[in-house]
Amino acid sequence: MEKLNKEHSVKDNLKIKFIIYSIIWFLTIAALISSYFVLSANIKKVQEKNDLNTSYIEENKAEEAKAQAIYIPKVEEKKINYSLSNKVSNIAVFGLDERAEVYDGDWARADTMMIVTIDEKNSKIKLSSILRDCYVDVLEYGNIVKDKINHSFAYGASEEYDKSENPYRAYHAGALRSVKALNDNFDLNIKDYVIINFTSFKNIIDKIGGIEVNLTDEEAKEVNGAMGEFEVYGKFSKLSEGGGVKLLDGNQALAYARNRNIGGDPDRALRQRIVIQAMYKKMKFINPIQLTSVIKELMAMIKTNLTTVQIVSFATKVLFNDMLFVNTRFPVDNNWYGDIINGISYDIIDDEELNIKQIKDFIYNDILPEEIQNGETTTAPQ
């Protein structure tokens, strides 16, 4: 009789556990579905308020097609064919270092130029920095000139502003011109872009409770030294002395990412990628309701030609799938050098054909150049 009671007790416990797990599973799925629809609705509201996301592109298709058709012989000769896949999506990200919303014609350059690749084929998110001082072919007022690649944004924005005096249309014109520079010089076919003022990222970082970053002693000292500049954006805060893994708030993370005093542009680009990677890791583990709030706030900070459906689709793939995050930079260390031309410093790509091959190998074939594999230009995949 005692044995029978024990068997009944075990069965009852199993039933109770099954019911509890079923309820938890149901609530989790319901929260995810609810978050998905709330996220969709929030993104749609933001885009409806920001009508420039579609009006500029629709009104200027013919003009932009003409600009895109301008022939650049040196780049065209070095075309390398790769089979494109609908499992690999590329989005250009342009970060503006702005201290005001409107520049009245004096437009900001793209302080940060990145390519975000969502590689569903290999279940990876790839983040590629492009050195902003790369000396490349850029379209300026109908002519191809040699200049820094990040100047392309200012050229496109100022030209549109001269015509329309509409700052919001100018932002998109700058992005389209920067996309053209990336495509023409690196033989890519990017169509989508996101513009963001990276200073705004501090609000997101604070909202998710900060990010963990492993700092050197020198980096920690530099962040503390720079905090006076960022006091105008919020509370004054300093890190504990010495290096190591630190929990950075928004101001500290911004000071770390904008640090120009340790290393050159490649080091600064690396720090920016580390911040984005740390944000991605943190956002993967916050609850769906908080995530919806964070993405809603992020959407209010950006300008993009992506549709609501595309944004929700990308966000779902990136945040609700187990994808490896890999980040790197082009050109790689042994394929560029610094030079002074007419008193201005530039990053000169040594072998442009090799640079194109390395970028496209990384994006489409999931092949890292040997220099990257040796850890010279990237953090370890996480």
Question: Per-residue pLDDT tens for 28-48?
Answer: 555 555 555 555 555 555 555
**In this structure, which amino acid lies at residue 381?**
P
- Is residue 138 very low, low, confident or very high in pLDDT (cuts 50, 70, 90)? very high
Q: Which residues, listed in sequence order, are joined to residue 114 by a DSSP beta bridge? A: 93, 129
DSSP 134: B
Pick from 161, 200, 204: which is nearest to 295 by CA? Answer: 204
Q: Looking at per-residue confidence, does 199 or 50 come out higher?
A: 199
Q: What is the pLDDT of residue 32?
A: 53
Helix (H) or strand (E) holding 194: strand 192-197
* CA-CA-CA-CA torsion sign (234, 235, 238, 239): negative
Q: What is the pLDDT of residue 164?
A: 85
Across 114-139, average pLDDT: 94
Cis peptide before 266 (omega within 30 of 0): no
Render pLDDT for 65-78 as a digit per residue (tens, 0 to 9). Answer: 454 444 333 334 34
- Is residue 336 very low, low, confident or very high in pLDDT (cuts 50, 70, 90)? very high
- Is residue 202 very low, low, confident or very high in pLDDT (cuts 50, 70, 90)? confident
DSSP 253: H
Q: Taking the CA atoms of the chain, what radius of gyration do you get in angstroms?
A: 23
Q: What is the pLDDT of residue 78?
A: 45
- The owner of tokens 């200073």 is 199
Task: Tell whether the model's pLDDT for residue 293 goes beyond 60.
Answer: yes
Task: Tell whether the model's pLDDT for residue 156 goes beyond 70.
Answer: yes
Pick from 127, 121, 111: which is nearest to 379 by CA? Answer: 127
Render pLDDT for 261-284 as a digit per residue (tens, 0 to 9). Answer: 888 888 988 999 999 999 988 888
Q: What is the pLDDT of residue 85?
A: 62
**In this structure, which amino acid lies at residue 337?**
Y
Q: What is the pLDDT of residue 214?
A: 95
Q: Looking at per-residue confidence, does 369 or 188 come out higher?
A: 188
Pick from 191, 80, 124, 186: which is nearest to 368 by CA? Answer: 124
Render pLDDT for 346-363 as a digit per residue (tens, 0 to 9). Answer: 999 999 999 999 999 999
Give the rounded distance of the alpha carbon of 83 from its chain centre: 24
Across 53-66, average pLDDT: 52
- Is residue 163 very low, low, confident or very high in pLDDT (cuts 50, 70, 90)? confident
Q: What is the pLDDT of residue 352?
A: 94
DSSP string computed for 346-364: EEEES-HHHHHHHHHHHHH
Across 315-332, average pLDDT: 87
* CA-CA-CA-CA torsion sign (18, 21, 27, 30): negative
Task: Tell whether the model's pLDDT for residue 53 goes beyond 50.
Answer: no
Category of 211 on φ-ψ map: left (φ > 0), alpha (ψ -120 to 50) or beta: beta
